[in-house]
């Protein structure tokens, strides 16, 4: 049985809607993916709030098919770095990256060095739940899992930025080692890994431009 409750958010007048959307865009447009982090501590409560925010994402049939693994201990971060670099060495130095991929990454200047994974105070690994688990151990079908988890990842990135921190949507490839290392159950698959912290004082980011609105928005006709 569907149950409903009233939803009465404050009515924002159109002029203020414009102003708010401009201000939020300006703030989000300042966000950059970062690979150079400071070792400074970030309160655990901030991480919990960021994960709470990400978990407000809409999801297929409201199954909320995600698990955020919060990692702050030195040993686990070290183990993740070692395993990620091992995979990435095969990509970058062992010829596993196909030429078109290698070419696409050239402007980003990425390589197999993932030392930032040990510099950051926190790593969050987002897992998708391919199916749910009922308390009796039986499987519960999830819907639109990739879409749902992708939206949660987007809210995570926005929440990190809003808090004044930086992150990177890191996908060490392949990511199966994270399931083993973090002892996640069979129904979960790693989706993306987020190192989170303050950007380094000498942080540099690639000179990239975002597509203008005219390239990303079209109207029919
Ligand atoms: N997983 C590799 C390669 C990589 C792939 C993409 I697509 C990027 O935008 C950046 C890197 C790595 O993490 O280096």
**Binding site membership of 85 for ligand 1 (Cβ less than 6 Å):** no
Residue 218 lies in a domain: no
Residue 138 lies in a domain: yes
Residue 94 lies in a domain: yes
Residue 1 lies in a domain: no
Ligand 1 midpoint to CA 142 (Å): 28
User: Quick one: DSSP state of residue 28?
Assistant: H
Ligand 1 midpoint to CA 136 (Å): 39
| Domain range for 84 | 35-200
Cα separations in angstroms, 192 against 37, 66, 170, 211: 18, 11, 6, 24
Residue 60 lies in a domain: yes
Total domains, the chain: 1
Residue 210 lies in a domain: no
Q: What is the mean pLDDT of the chain?
A: 97
> What confidence score (pLDDT) does residue 77 get?
98
Nearest to 169 by CA among 195, 200, 198: 195
Residue 132 lies in a domain: yes
Residue 125 lies in a domain: yes
User: Token digits for 106?
Assistant: 């050239």
Give the per-residue SS3 of 33-44. CCCCECCCCCCH
pLDDT band at 19 (very low <50, low <70, confident <90, very high): very high
Average pLDDT over residues 150-176: 97
**Binding site membership of 97 for ligand 1 (Cβ less than 6 Å):** no
Which tens digits make up the pLDDT trace of 20-67?
A: 999 999 999 999 999 999 999 999 999 999 999 999 999 999 999 999
Ligand 1 midpoint to CA 114 (Å): 11
Q: What is the CATH number of the domain that holds 116?
A: 3.40.109.10
Give me the sheet containing 66-71, strands edge to edge.
Answer: 66-71, 122-129, 188-197, 166-167
**Binding site membership of 172 for ligand 1 (Cβ less than 6 Å):** yes
Atom of ligand 1 nearest to the CA of 173: 1
Atom of ligand 1 nearest to the CA of 104: 7
């Amino acid at each position: 049985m569907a149950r409903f409750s009233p939803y009465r958010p404050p009515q924002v007048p159109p002029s203020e809607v414009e102003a708010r959307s401009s201000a939020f865009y300006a703030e989000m447009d300042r966000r950059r993916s970062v690979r150079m982090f400071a070792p400074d501590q970030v309160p655990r409560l901030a991480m919990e709030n960021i994960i709470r925010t990400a978990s407000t994402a809409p999801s297929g049939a409201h199954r909320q098919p995600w698990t955020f693994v919060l990692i702050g201990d030195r040993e686990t971060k070290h183990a993740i770095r070692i395993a990620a670099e091992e995979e990435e060495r095969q990509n970058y130095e062992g010829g596993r990256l196909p030429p078109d991929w290698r070419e696409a990454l050239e402007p980003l200047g990425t390589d197999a060095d993932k030392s930032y994974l040990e510099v950051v105070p926190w790593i969050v690994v987002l897992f998708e739940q391919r199916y749910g688990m009922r308390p009796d151990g039986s499987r519960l079908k999830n819907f639109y899992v990739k879409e749902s988890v992708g939206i949660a990842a987007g809210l995570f990135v926005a929440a990190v930025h809003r808090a004044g921190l930086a992150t990177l949507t890191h996908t060490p490839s392949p990511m199966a080692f994270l399931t083993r290392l973090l002892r996640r159950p069979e129904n979960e698959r790693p989706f993306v890994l987020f190192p989170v912290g303050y950007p380094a004082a000498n942080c540099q980011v690639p000179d990239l431009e975002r597509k203008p609105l005219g390239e990303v928005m079209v109207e029919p006709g």
